[in-house]
Amino acid sequence: MFAYVPSIRKYARSRSLAIGIGLILLGIDAQAQPDQKQVQNNVVDIVRRSSVQTKSYSEEFKNLLAKETKTVRIFDKKEALKKERVIVSNFLVYQFLKGTDETTEFRSVLSVDGKPVSGVEKRAIELFERISKASTTTSELERIQKESLRYDDEIQITGLTLFQGIALDERVRDSFLFEIVGRQVIAGSEAWAVRYTQVKDTDLIRISDKPAGPAVLEYDFDLGDLKNVSPRLRGTLWIDGKNYQILREVRELAIKPDGFETPVVIASNEFEYSPSEFGIYTPRRIVHSQFRVDPKTRRGVKEIEYLFEYSDFIRPKVEVTSDKPAQP
């Protein structure tokens, strides 16, 4: 299973397999090598400023709406495409009624593989009526996830839009080495390319078979007989040089089980953001890939890919309540 828990808030857990996409930095302009102390001061300042912006993102992202197209691709043992499903939904960042400042993703499914889903509005109204009667945020979350993910057969994954730049989180930041590796123009903005590498363990980034308390990022994988896997994150952030918001991120989770000479990537994500009218860069495209570990070759075999694509985000003109589910 895959659990994405980027804060003390709990989000969906999904069934998982393993191993991701190699990290390739394309189109980054090489820079002259300045004084190393100056470089270190620059990256510390960039990381600090960008971390502040990720908090603004989480706050401003509440109650936004978009049309989401989710493409699920399943691969066979030779990594050939075996099955594909396309799910189109009205997507809402939902703030819990029973909690304080807690959010999750709600999806009102409109069509599956081009076939419209009947009774969409009625289902949404009935769901929000049930949610209004829930006694806890856990009950709210369970009902939202059951409705949102009812066509996700292979794995269930949610929460990827809600938070940015996990490595920038103050609770785990000292577990990472940050390096400026170049600059790149993205969507007309010049961005710093900041590479991050986890250099020491933290209980807040982990692989577990059941919830184990607060976490920044938690995965629940079936790794078979692999032992002492030592999970580590690595990746690259492209940070706008003017406002320090994240324009793009590539993230990988790697493990190095007993007997393995080199780490193996078991999951990867690609995040692309674009400007919005809300003063934040909102998701445009997210890719989540999972791979299984072949114990003989000790390499990753791609098994599943989730592609999320979003229209421009808007804010509903009416308050989202149990009897007024918002529509894009």
What residues contact residue 196 under an 8 Å CB cut-off, 6+ apart?
A: 167, 176, 177, 178, 179, 233, 234, 235, 236, 237
- Mean pLDDT in residue range 304-325: 77
104 occurs within a structural domain: yes
Q: Residues 163-195: pLDDT tens digits? A: 999 999 999 999 999 999 999 999 889 999 999
DSSP string for residues in 232-292: EEEEEEEEETTT--EEEEEEEEEE--TT-SS-EEEEEEEEEEEE-TTSSEEEEEEEEEEEE
Amino acid at 26: L
254 occurs within a structural domain: yes
230 occurs within a structural domain: yes
Of the listed ranges 56-60, 99-103, 155-159, 227-231, the one predicted with least confidence: 99-103
pLDDT value of position 298: 82
What residues contact residue 293 under an 8 Å CB cut-off, 6+ apart?
A: 18, 19, 223, 224, 226, 255, 257, 264, 266, 299, 300, 301
Task: Work out the pLDDT band at 211, boundaries 50, 70, 90.
Answer: low
161 occurs within a structural domain: yes
Cβ-contact 12, 149 below 8 angstroms = yes
Domain coverage including residue 23: 2-310
Closest to 195 measured CA to CA, from 156, 160, 237: 237
d(CA 240, CA 92): 26
- Which burial class, exposed, middle or buried, applies to 23 when counting CB atoms under 10 A from its CB (0-12, 13-18, 19+)? middle
Q: Residues 62-78: pLDDT tens digits? A: 889 999 999 999 999 88
pTM listed for this prediction = 0.83
253 occurs within a structural domain: yes
Cβ-contact 27, 184 below 8 angstroms = yes
233 occurs within a structural domain: yes
Domain tally for the chain? Answer: 1
Query: Is the confidence at residue 318, as pLDDT, over 80?
Result: no
246 occurs within a structural domain: yes
pLDDT value of position 153: 80
Cβ-contact 86, 74 below 8 angstroms = no
d(CA 54, CA 138): 25
How many angstroms from the chain centroid is the CA of residue 318? 28
How many angstroms from the chain centroid is the CA of residue 69? 16
d(CA 225, CA 172): 28
DSSP string for residues in 129-153: HHHHT-SSHHHHHHHHHHHHTTT--
324 occurs within a structural domain: no
pLDDT value of position 98: 66
Which H helix or E strand runs over 223?
none
